[in-house]
Amino acid sequence: MKPKIAIIGAGPCGLLAAYAVESRGCEATLFAPEIRDGFLGAQVLHKAIPGLTGVFSDAIIHIAKWGQEAVYRQKVYGSVELDGPTSWDEYQGTLAVWNLGITNKLLLDLFKSKIVTRYVKPAHIPMIVRGYDAVINTAPAKVFCEYPGLHQFPDVRVTIIGKAAVGVAPNQIVYNGTQHDEWYRSSRLFGFASTEYGVDERLEVGGTPVRKPLWTDCDCHLGPGYYRAGRYGRWQKGVLAHDGYDTGMEAVNALYALQ
């Protein structure tokens, strides 16, 4: 009998976890409140996924940095204290990427029939753990915390608008560490444009408000056979979409090691 793995969340991270699980001969079941259409705009995948994406990247992104990293950091985090590198430090020169929007639509077609439309609550976790050989949770860790008054979930607020700043070229990401404009990052990727404004921005720029996780000390539910994946699932800065695939592989490898 195939090992059964439950995946909470059917966004890009959850779908990539399902792909990893089934590529290794296990059975994936995804739980999500609804099935979305898979539209992701300018989001990218930072690594090739065997058997799913092409070996060669879909685009080469050019990284530009204007101004100083200290100004960039202040725009992103404001008064929030954060140790460690920013995206300014992490990316240099050029970056090979894959189109996450296209990949996500392919995955949605593959796994739509395996998505159970159900809102999973913290009280459901023990039952799901008992019913499956492993569980991968890509939904926000904050939602599943059993002790919200005890555990911390710091994040930063950003606003994203659907147009690029002046001077941003196609296939380019600009990190803005100047004092001249309020935005901190802008891009033109795969025909889509976006610009992000940081935590202390008070202009009425419109767009979509987003809260980006930084870190957590929550260890609720963690144990053998239970994994958290993705930036929101781990509630950790710097975690990318392909973490779903990597975590799926980790879960399967652990199961096969026990046989």
State whether 93 and 124 are in the same domain.
Answer: no
State whether 175 and 187 are in the same domain.
Answer: yes
The tens-digit pLDDT sequence of the chain (259 residues) is 889 999 999 999 999 999 999 999 999 999 999 887 756 666 899 999 999 998 899 999 999 999 999 899 888 887 666 666 788 988 889 999 999 988 999 999 999 999 999 999 999 999 999 999 999 999 999 999 999 899 999 998 888 888 999 999 999 999 999 998 889 999 999 889 999 998 655 555 567 888 899 999 999 999 999 999 999 999 999 899 999 999 999 999 999 987 6
If one counts the domains in the chain, the total is 2
State whether 169 and 193 are in the same domain.
Answer: yes
On whether residue 104 sits in a domain, the answer given is: no
State whether 56 and 91 are in the same domain.
Answer: yes
Q: Which domain holds residue 245?
A: 1-33+118-148+215-259
| Residue 214 exposure: Cα atoms within 13 Å on the Cβ side | 17
State whether 92 and 168 are in the same domain.
Answer: yes
- How, if at all, do strands 183-189 and 192-197 pair? antiparallel
Report the predicted TM-score, pTM, of the whole model to 2 decimal places.
0.92
pLDDT tens sequence across 135-191: 999 999 999 999 989 999 999 888 888 899 999 999 999 999 999 888 999 999 988
Q: Which CATH number goes with the domain that contains 139?
A: 3.50.50.60
State whether 65 and 87 are in the same domain.
Answer: yes
On whether residue 41 sits in a domain, the answer given is: no
State whether 160 and 134 are in the same domain.
Answer: no
State whether 170 and 258 are in the same domain.
Answer: no
State whether 127 and 78 are in the same domain.
Answer: no
Integer Cα distance of 245 and 91 in angstroms: 22
